[in-house]
Structure 1
């Protein structure tokens, strides 16, 4: 009986250590990925993207899309910060390991086309855009910055982490509306459901 208790204790400690280990690694890797996002190092961001995505959307095409989205003629987008709030336990299916990372993100949208307008017109436009963004992100999560014609947006976000033996290290895949079709085709529904239900 004492032997079984000791064995159970060792197994419990081993499982706990593994859980902490993968979470520590994922937080470290996510922070590198987030740093690339803040610095708009799109090659770095794409290096962390799950390579299966490029079978559906070529890497160069995705890079061009990012460059256009973040640095358009009429608007720029900048990530100010991203902070991991939770890493789930891992799930395994057919030799691939999955986890979900929940994080808070702060983003700045700057509108360029209104810079030459009168102050009242600029304010009217910015307040209209603020109201539009509030419907998506919540009233308390959008703040205007008239001096720079910007909106500061706080949001909660999720991404999946995938450790596939075909590729080196953990890869990431954003879980948002823009990526829904790709995410649904790459990550099994049962895995997505289990991981997202672990949110605290």
Structure 2
């Protein structure tokens, strides 16, 4: 009986620590997403894994983001970014990894097309929707001719990394543009294990 009690307590403590670490990652990921939604770019960059800045410097990354979000031709805004689940952590050589799954809703408004005749606007928006359908999947993109905008809804994932070399949790998006970086930062076996865990 004493042995069973010990096992039960051990399991409870283990499950509790898993839940605590998942809650911690969820909290930081949501803060990261809130910064993204509110376009607090310096704070967004603070949460990015430092290796990202080997592709482009922090200053270049910020300038590129500012250009993208402040374009006179097209306005991009995040309507929402919500964490839907977080995997258990995996540790290798003192570095801890987890996968974060989330739902994102983004609005693209084509400001430069707004004053054009309706037929032109309609043709442009249909063309852009077809382009975005190919990139994000049909059914994930809706168009609104009145506001000249597309809304893209996406279920995606990213990796959370806690490395003693850096302060706190850092994030790397798991998409084609980041594939080369993800491959160098996260061991393949860990990536596969985490993504299959959902």
1: CA distance between counterparts of 2:60 and 2:131?
29
Aligned to 2:23: 24
Cα distance 1:57–1:146, how it changes in 2: closer, same or farther (>3 A)?
A: same
Cα distance 1:56–1:118, how it changes in 2: closer, same or farther (>3 A)?
A: closer
Alignment of 1:19-58 (within 5 A): 19-58=18-57
2: CA distance between counterparts of 1:102 and 1:44?
21
Structure 2 length-normalised TM: 0.94
Residue 74 (str. 1) matches residue 73 (str. 2):
yes
List per-residue Cα deviations over 1:12-40 (Å, max 9, x = no partner): 01110011101111111111111111111
2: CA distance between counterparts of 1:188 and 1:62?
25
1: CA distance between counterparts of 2:184 and 2:61?
17
Deviates more, 1:92-101 or 1:5-14: 5-14
Shift of 1:132: 1.6
Alignment of 1:166-181 (within 5 A): 166-181=165-180
Alignment of 1:4-15 (within 5 A): 4-15=3-14
Shift of 1:57: 2.5
List per-residue Cα deviations over 1:156-184 (Å, max 9, x = no partner): 11110011111221111111111111111
Gapped regions of structure 2 (runs ≥ 5):
none
Give the aligned length.
Answer: 198
Structure 1 length-normalised TM: 0.94
Gapped regions of structure 1 (runs ≥ 5):
none
Say whether the 8 Å CA contact 2:51–2:181 is kept in structure 1: no
